[in-house]
Amino acid sequence: MNHDQHAVSRRWFLQQCGVGLGSIALSQLLGSRTLAGPVSDPFASRPAHFPGKAKSVIFLFMGGGPSQIELFDNKPDLAKFSGTLPPAELLKGYRAAFIDPNSTLLGPKFQFSRHGECGAELSELLPHLSSVADDITIVRSMVTDAFNHAPGQLLMSTGNQQFGRPSLGAWIVYGLGSESRDLPAFVVFSSGQKGPSGGNSNWGSGFLPTVYQGIQFRGGPEPVMFLDNPPGIDRSLQQDSIETIAALNGERLLEMGDPEIATRTRAFETAFRMQASAPELMDLTQETQATLDLYGAEPGKSSFANNCLLARRLVERGVRFVELFHESWDQHGGLTNGLKNNCKNTDQAAAALIKDLKQRGLLDETLVIWGGEFGRTPMVQGGDDGRDHHPNAFSMWFAGGGMKPGLTLGATDPLGFNAVEDRVHVRDLHATILHLLGLDHERLTYKFQGLDMKLTGVEPAHIVEKLLA
């Protein structure tokens, strides 16, 4: 058989038999999700495994490791024994990132008081969050396996300390699709002093098709570069071009069976629609002055406050997962002033997000998550005004999306060193988040290198039933 005969026979087989690589590729876009079966649009809204409480997620990722001891986990005994060495038995087998574990204890730098009908105990640094104490769920007993930033952020974001795994947002979009046709299903913002230590892998797609990765929006009036057409290209001509490219890509997909071709086609189509939708989305002047004041937002500027308001606008428009990174919580020294500045920049907007979602009837179906990759040590670093990384105990809070409001779950020992009651590992948190969205973490899988991979990996992971409303 000559080359031309081989090509004709192969083309006939792929196009006429109905079992070609093109069909296989489309099936792979959904892997072994075992729900509604394969679809040609990887972002098509799909049914969950079971009815979930949440439809979308806003993750306020406080990169660097916020100090739970100054914010959420009041420790009078730590203040009492400040300046003394911790008990030797407490440090057995303990590894710290930088300090000698035998460093002296450091008492809390700020005062705590109780708030709301639930009596949640919160720091004086969080006056705005304190005003919504009855709407949030606090977990004081989070634990993780990592004690350095990049591995810790990757574990929180992807369920694994190594690069190359799909992020939480990517898994959720893979499982549920999106309810927005004009915007990406997974949007990322970044504020603070620098970007996340784990880099783009925090919102990557890993071994999932790249169509599921997060799309980073920039602050200011131009969220995505090149939204405007070049001179001489009008919208009609651009649409004709995209339709022609999509048709050519469709033929190539049928021939080659590469799901990344479908990703490229979707990217062109989304970019075209975003030329109309993104400028309207980013125009915060459409909001009332009362709403802008609630968040502390200023149209046209880049800030955590603006990003929180944009997150609300995104979930209103059907975006499935929005992640806001604020990387400035790594206080090895300068703890007192650093925390004051961090809370000044984030507390008002985070609380405003809860209030705004609630008054618009969106909080019940939107899960808001606040937290970092780990906590800080009860021991001192940086003279008398800093703390090292600490994986054994840290705090996070949640609102809406089926979480039990007004609950404070878990406890640490009197010095805040270990979580000792209702420990919640990062894997347990992931399983619980998926559950709230109607996804079974054991069934949400993707075939990769012969294995049925999942967000929670092979280690045991449990839904934290006490957190559920």
Rounded to an integer, what distance in angstroms lies between the CA atom of residue 52 and that of residue 48? Answer: 7
Residue (of 166, 162, 149, 165) closest to 61 by Cα position: 149
Rounded to an integer, what distance in angstroms lies between the CA atom of residue 164 and that of residue 438? Answer: 25
User: What's the chain's Rg over C-alpha atoms?
Assistant: 24
Quick check: 84 pLDDT over 80?
yes
Residue (of 181, 172, 128, 90) closest to 401 by Cα position: 172
Q: Is residue 276 very low, low, confident or very high in pLDDT (cuts 50, 70, 90)?
A: low
**Least trusted range by pLDDT, from 15-29, 75-89, 185-199, 274-288:** 15-29
The reported pTM is 0.86
107 close to 82: Cβ distance less than 8 angstroms: yes
Q: Is residue 255 very low, low, confident or very high in pLDDT (cuts 50, 70, 90)?
A: confident
Q: Is residue 62 very low, low, confident or very high in pLDDT (cuts 50, 70, 90)?
A: very high
The conformation of residue 202, written as its DSSP 8-state character, comes to G
pLDDT tens digit sequence for 332-366: 999 999 999 999 999 999 999 999 999 999 999 99
Quick check: 29 pLDDT over 60?
no
Q: What is the pLDDT of residue 100?
A: 85
Q: What share of the chain is helix, strand, coil (3-state, %, to 5)?
A: 40, 15, 45
Rounded to an integer, what distance in angstroms lies between the CA atom of residue 390 and that of residue 67? Answer: 9
Q: Report in angstroms the alpha-carbon separations of 195 from 67, 169, 200.
A: 19, 18, 9
Q: What is the mean pLDDT of residues 187-199?
A: 92
Mean pLDDT score of the chain, rounded to an integer?
87
pLDDT tens digit sequence for 137-176: 999 999 999 999 999 999 999 999 999 999 999 999 999 9
Quick check: 120 pLDDT over 60?
yes
3-state SS, residue 376 = strand
Q: Strand pairing partners for 137?
A: 398
Q: What is the mean pLDDT of residues 62-69?
A: 98
Residue (of 303, 396, 328) closest to 64 by Cα position: 328
Q: What is the mean pLDDT of residues 65-80?
A: 97
Q: What is the mean pLDDT of residues 21-40?
A: 40
Question: What would you measure as the largest C-alpha separation in the chain, in angstroms?
Answer: 87
Residue (of 425, 456, 460, 432) closest to 142 by Cα position: 425
First to last CA, the chain: 67
Q: What is the pLDDT of residue 30?
A: 39
Q: What is the mean pLDDT of residues 40-50?
A: 84
Q: Is residue 254 very low, low, confident or very high in pLDDT (cuts 50, 70, 90)?
A: confident
Q: What is the mean pLDDT of residues 375-384?
A: 93
Quick check: 445 pLDDT over 70?
yes
pLDDT tens digit sequence for 282-333: 899 999 999 999 999 999 888 999 999 999 999 999 999 999 999 989 999 9
Quick check: 390 pLDDT over 90?
yes
